[in-house]
Amino acid sequence: MTILRRWLAAIAGAWRGERSEQGLDAELRAYVDLSAADKERAGLSPGEARRQALIELGGIEAVKEQVRRGRHGGAIEEIWRDTRYGVRLLRRTPLFSAVVVLTLALAIGANATVFSVVDALLLRSLPVRAPDELVTVSLQRRDATADGGAVGTLSYRMVRLFAEQLDLFAAAGAYSAFRFDVGAADAVVRVPGAVVTGGFFVALGIEPQVGRLLQPADDAPGAPAVAVISDGFWERRFSRRRDAVGQSLLVGGTSVPIVGVAPRGFAGATVGSPADVTIAAAALPQVSPDQAPLLEPGNFWLRVVARPRPGLSREHLTARLEAVWRRSADGVIAPHWPARRRADVAALVPRLAPGGSGSTYLRQIYRAPLIVLLGIVGTVLLIACANLAGLLLTRAASRQRELALRLALGAGRWRVVRQLLAEGAVLAVAGAALGTALAAAASRVLVALMSTSQLPIAIDVGPDLRVLAFVTAVAGGTTLLFAVVPALVATAIDPRQELATGGRASRSRARWLAALVSGQVALALVLLAGAGLFIRTFDNLRRFDSGFDAEGVLVAELQPRHAHDSTVVPALADLPGVTAVSLATHTPLDGWTWTEAVVPAGQPLPERESTVAIGIGPGYFDTLGLRLLGGRAFGASDAAGGAPVAIVNEAYARRHFSRVDVVGARLASRVGGRPHELTVLGVAANTPLSGFRVDPPPTIYLPIAQLPEVIRVTVLVRGVGGPASLARTIEPTLRAAQPGVAVEIAPLASQVGASIAQERILALLGGGFGLMALLLSTMGLHALIAYGVAQRTHELGVRVALGARGPQILRLVVGEGAWLVAIGVAAGIPAAWLASRWVRTLLFGVTPADPVVAASAVAVLTTAAIVAAWVPARRAARTDPLTALRHE
Amino acid sequence: MEQPDKLDIPPGTLELMILTILARGPLHGYGVSQRLTALSGDEFQVNPGSLFPTLYRLEQDGKLKAEWGASENNRQAKFYRLTPAGRRQLERHRSRWARVTLAIAGVLEGA
C-alpha cells in the first residue's frame, strides 16, 4: 500500500517536476543567503561571506541532482524531465529534427519491413494451442544431413500409420494446401483451401467459432464430404451469419455442407496460402475426382503435424517411430512399385522436426534472400547512425558553451551525457514510430513483390508483438549508436577553458567526424557492390536463352480428361488472333516434374526414373517457339494406337548417344508401367525446366494422345494483340469446355518471371538500398566538409589574404574529402568482398569478386563524393578575406 | 572552508536527528544544519547535498510539511514542520535508537 502510494506520489511529483524545481532553486538560494549573513556577522566581508557560503553549498546543480535522486521515483522523474527538455530543444531546431527523424524513420522502417516479413514467414507460430509442442514427421535417409535427402511430405497411408500410434501421439494429422472450384457452373471460382486428415484439428487443439471442426470420422472411407470454412471466408461469403453452418457449398459440382467455422486468425497450416475451405482427405474423390489418385500409396503430398504424448523425449519418440516404421513400412509403400524402389523407401527412417509454425515452400525460396535483405537494411541503419552521429557532433559543437556552462554549474558529466542521450532517444522514438507506420504499408508491398502467379502469398504482416519488440530493440540500439559518441565527445571538455576561449573545434571531434564519414563510405561501398552483383544476376537470368519464346503465349490448366479430347484445341485455334494452340502435361518452369525410365533400346531399364518426361500435343514446338534441331514434330497421326514415338532434347541425345542427330533411334521405356519401345522422331533444343540455374535435364517428349493416364494438362495458346485481349478471346471457349471448373489464364512469361522472383527482389531492393546508402554517405560527407569550411573561415581568410588562389583552396578542401573517401574505399573493398562471398550462392553468371561490379561501385561512390565535396569547397574558394577576418 | 576533526554522521541517523530538531518547532534548511552542528558540540556538520535530499524525502513521505515564511532576518525561506505522522515516526526511531545504543553498550561493556 505504501509502495503504491509512493509511486503515485512519484508520478504526481514528476508532473509537478517543474514547480518543485523552482522551489528548490529558491530554497537553495535562501540557504546561501542565510549562511552568508551568518558569516558576515562573524566578521567576514560581504563578498568573502558569500563566496564561503557558495563553497559550502557545493554547487547548486549538484545539490539539486542529489535531491532529485533521493526522492522516490526520482529516476522516472529525471527521465521525464530529460525527455521534456530534449523535446523542447529539438522543437527549437525543427529542420534538424525533421531531417534526423525522417532518416531514422526510413532506416528503422526498412528494418521493420523486412523483419515483419521474416517474422510472418519464418518465425511466427501457428495460432494454435501450445504450438511449441507440435512436431512434424518426415522420412530421411539414415545418412542424411540436416537438410538433405528428406522427404517432408508423406503418402496418405503413411500418415495413417503414424496417426494410429496413440501411445506416442496424443493426436496426429496431416495437411496439404489445395484449390477448390467453388460455386455454380456459371459462377465458379477457385478458392484456396486445404485437404486434411482426421487428426489434423485435434492435434492443433483449436476450437471452432461456430459448429464443429473436422474429426477422424469425417476422414473415414465413405464418409460424406463436409467443409470447415475460415473466418475470412465466413465474413466475405456469409457476413458472419451463424446460419452459414448447415448451408452447403458447391465444391467441384458436389454439394458439401458447412459444418463449422475455424477460429479467427487461423487460416490453415500452410503459411502464405490461407485455407478458406478445408475438406477431409477421404472426401477428396467426391469433390475433385481428378485428384482421387492422391490417396494412393505412391503419392507423397501430405505434411504431418502431431502432438506427442507428454513426457516422451524426442530421442525416445524417434526410436519408437523407427520401430513402427521397420515393422509396418512394407504395408504402406505402393505395392506396384519395383522392388528396388520399395526397398529404397523402406530404408528411410522417420525423423521429427518442430511443427508449430506450419510449413511453406516459400521458406525454401525466400529464407536466404530475406536474410540477405535483413543484412542490407541493417547496414543501411548503420550508415544512417553514422550519418546522424556526425550531425549530432556538429550540432553539439554549436552548443559547446551551453554544455560547458552546465558542467561548470556542477552538473556531473554523466548527467549531461544522459541529457544528450535523452535527446537522441526522443529522436529515435519518433523515428521508430514513423518507421513502424511506414513498415506496415511497406511490408505489404514487399509481400506483393514476392508474390507470383505461381506462388501467390496471402499473409498477415501486420506488426505483432515480436515486430514491436524488434523495433524497440532497434530504436534502443540506434540511440546508443548515434547518440553515445557525440555525447561523450561533447562532454569531454574542460569547462573553464571552454568558457574562457569561446570554444574551438576539439581534436577528438574532428577525428570522430572523419572516422564516421569514412565508415559510411565503406559501408555504402559494400551495399553498392552487392547491389551491382544482384542486378547483374537478375539481368543474366532475364536474358538467359531459354530456347523458347514466352511472349504472346497464354497458359491455362484444363481438366485431365481434355488430354484425350479432340475438341478444345481446334475450337481455340479457330478464334481470331490465335496463331497456335497445343496441349502439354507440363510447361517450362511451371514447377512440376514427371520422370520416367527411358534408355536406348538394348540397354537394361534402370529401376530409378531419371529422364524428365513431358506429354505434348501436336503444335507444341510451334506454340512455344521452341526449335527442333532435327527430325519432325508430332502430328495428328501420332495418336493412341499408333506406333509409339518420342522426341528427345539435345541433353538426352548427348547423354545417351553422345551425339545430337538420333532421329530414328529406338528407345526402351516403361511409361505407364508397361515396358515398350519408342522410335525417336525428332530432337528438340534444350529448355530450362526447374529454373535457369539448373542445367536443362535430359528430357523426352511423348505424344499426349499415347499416354494411358494423364493427371494434369495445360493448354498453351499463342496469339497476337496482347495477353489481356487474347485472354478475353479464349476464356469463353475454355469455360464452355469444362462447366463447373474455374478457368485461370496466365501469361507463360509470368511463369518465367516467377522463376526469378527472388533474384528480382534482391536486384530491386538491393539497388534501392544501395542508392539510399549512397545518398546518406554523400550527405554525410557534404555536411562534414561544409562544417569544416565554416569552422575554418578564419584560416581560409588568412590563406586567401596571404595570396592563396581559388583553385588552391578548392584543391585543399576537396583533397581532404578525397582522403576520407579513399580511406573508406580502402576499408570497403575487403568488406564488400567478404559480403559478396557470403551471398555467392544467390549469384548467377557473375563471381563475387567481379571486377566490373567492384570498379563501378567505386566509380559511382567516388563521383558522388567529389560532387558532395565540391559544393562547399567552391564556397570556400570564394572566401572574401575581409569578411572572413572581420568574422572574429 | 575545511572542517577538521568533524565526525561522519552515522548512516541512518540523519533522519532521526532532523526529526528531533524539528520536533521543537519549525525551521528552515539552513537552521536545521546550524542547530545540528550546535547540538552535536560542533562534532557533526551536515552538508547540503545530504541535508536537502533527506528533507525532501521526508516531505514526500508526509513526515514533514513545508511552507514558505519569513526568516529571522526577514528573508523568504522554506520552513519545515513535523506532521503527526512525522511525530510518530520520531517516536519509533527514538525507541529503536535507544535499543540500539543499549545493545551496543552491552556488547562493548561485556566484551
Distances (CA, A) of A646 to A602, A670, B4, B107: 17, 13, 111, 110
Q: How far is B104 from chain A (nearest CA, A)?
A: 29
Alpha-carbon dihedral A549, A555, A561, A563, rounded to 10 degrees: -10
**Closest to A671 (Cα-Cα) out of A640, A702, A697:** A702
B88 close contact with A: CB closer than 8 A:
no
pLDDT digits (tens, 9 = 90+) for A696-754: 889 999 999 998 878 789 999 999 988 999 999 999 999 888 887 888 899 998 888 88
pTM of the model: 0.79
- Per-residue confidence (pLDDT) for residue B2, from 0 to 100: 44
User: At what angle are helices A2-41 and A74-92 packed, to 10 degrees?
Assistant: 80
C-alpha neighbours within 13 Å on the C-beta side of residue A514: 14
**Closest to A641 (Cα-Cα) out of A707, A552, A590:** A707
A72 pLDDT above the threshold of 70: no
DSSP A856-884: HHHHHHHHHHHHHHHHHHHHHHT--HHHH
A19 pLDDT above the threshold of 90: no
User: At what angle are helices A507-542 and A465-491 packed, to 10 degrees?
Assistant: 140
E-strand spans in A204-263? Answer: 210-211, 227-229, 248-251, 254-261
Structure-block grid coordinates of residue A557 = 490448366
Instruction: Give the number of other CB atoms < 10 A from CB of residue A210.
Output: 19
Backbone angles phi, psi at A170, to 5 degrees: -65, -40
Q: How far is B107 from chain A (nearest CA, A)?
A: 34
What confidence tier does B1 reach under pLDDT thresholds 50, 70, 90?
A: very low
What is residue A70's three-state secondary structure? helix
Instruction: Find the CB nearest A31 among B1, B30, B56.
Output: B30
Task: Calculate the average pLDDT of chain A.
Answer: 87
Scored b (16 or more CB within 10 A) or e, A165-200 reads beebbbbbbbbbbbbbbbbeeeebeebbbbbbbbbb
Average pLDDT over residues A160-166: 94
B43 close contact with A: CB closer than 8 A:
no
User: At what angle are helices A94-118 and A757-791 packed, to 10 degrees?
Assistant: 160
- Report the C-alpha gap between A136 and A357 in whole angstroms: 10
What confidence tier does A174 reach under pLDDT thresholds 50, 70, 90?
A: very high
E-strand spans in A530-587? Answer: 553-558, 578-584
Distinct helix (H) and strand (E) counts, chain A: 27, 23
Most confident of A43-57, A314-328, A677-691, B59-73: A314-328
Structure-block grid coordinates of residue A769 = 538500398
- Per-residue confidence (pLDDT) for residue A537, from 0 to 100: 93
A35 pLDDT above the threshold of 90: no
B74 close contact with A: CB closer than 8 A:
no
Cβ–Cβ under 8 Å, residues A607 and A595: no
Least confident of A53-57, A149-153, A188-192, A599-603: A149-153
Cα Rg for chain A, rounded, in angstroms?
36
pLDDT digits (tens, 9 = 90+) for A623-642: 999 999 999 999 888 888 88
Q: How many CB pairs under 8 A join A and B?
A: 72
- Per-residue confidence (pLDDT) for residue A2, from 0 to 100: 58
**Closest to A300 (Cα-Cα) out of A127, A452, A159:** A159
Distances (CA, A) of A45 to A51, A59, B62: 10, 21, 40
Instruction: Give the number of other CB atoms < 10 A from CB of residue A803.
Output: 7
- Report the C-alpha gap between A122 and A363 in whole angstroms: 6
In chain B, the N- to C-terminal Cα span, in Å, equals 40
Least confident of A71-80, A326-335, A439-448: A71-80
Cβ–Cβ under 8 Å, residues A742 and A189: yes
pLDDT digits (tens, 9 = 90+) for A851-871: 999 999 999 999 998 888 888
Residue A717: strand pairing partners: A554, A581
Q: How far is B28 from chain A (nearest CA, A)?
A: 8
- Per-residue confidence (pLDDT) for residue A10, from 0 to 100: 57
Structure-block grid coordinates of residue A852 = 566490373
Helix%, strand%, coil% for chain A, nearest 5: 55, 15, 30
pLDDT digits (tens, 9 = 90+) for A99-124: 999 999 999 999 999 999 999 999 89
- Mark yes or no for CB contact A24/B52 under 8 Å: yes
More confident residue, A425 or A8: A425
Torsional class of A158: left (φ above 0), alpha (ψ -120 to 50), beta (otherwise): alpha
Torsional class of A568: left (φ above 0), alpha (ψ -120 to 50), beta (otherwise): alpha
- Per-residue confidence (pLDDT) for residue A150, from 0 to 100: 63
More confident residue, A78 or A177: A177
What confidence tier does A528 reach under pLDDT thresholds 50, 70, 90?
A: very high
Average pLDDT over residues A489-505: 68
Least confident of A40-54, A377-391, A397-411, A813-827: A397-411
B31 close contact with A: CB closer than 8 A:
yes
Average pLDDT over residues A559-565: 83
- Mark yes or no for CB contact A13/B48 under 8 Å: no
Average pLDDT over residues A501-512: 68
Residue with cell 511497406: A442
Name every residue in A having a CB less than 8 A away from some CB of B: 6, 9, 13, 23-24, 26-28, 30-31, 33-35, 37-38, 52, 55-58, 62-63, 66-67, 69-72
A841 pLDDT above the threshold of 60: yes
- Per-residue confidence (pLDDT) for residue A317, from 0 to 100: 94
More confident residue, A97 or A185: A97
**Amino acid letter for position B90:** L
Which residues of chain A make contact with B30, given a CB cutoff of 8 A?
Answer: 30-31, 34-35
pLDDT digits (tens, 9 = 90+) for A89-98: 888 889 889 9
Least confident of A6-20, A548-562, B32-46: A6-20
Instruction: Find the CB nearest A9 among B1, B60, B77.
Output: B60
Distances (CA, A) of A663 to A604, A610, A706, A766: 21, 21, 19, 48
What confidence tier does A146 reach under pLDDT thresholds 50, 70, 90?
A: low
A454 pLDDT above the threshold of 80: no
Pairing of strands A666-669, A598-600: antiparallel
Instruction: Find the CB nearest B75 among A6, A30, A71.
Output: A30
B37 close contact with A: CB closer than 8 A:
no
Of the residues A5, A22, A27, the best mutation for testing chain B's interface (the one with the most B CB atoms within 10 Å of its CB) is: A27
- Mark yes or no for CB contact B52/A63 under 8 Å: yes
B76 close contact with A: CB closer than 8 A:
yes
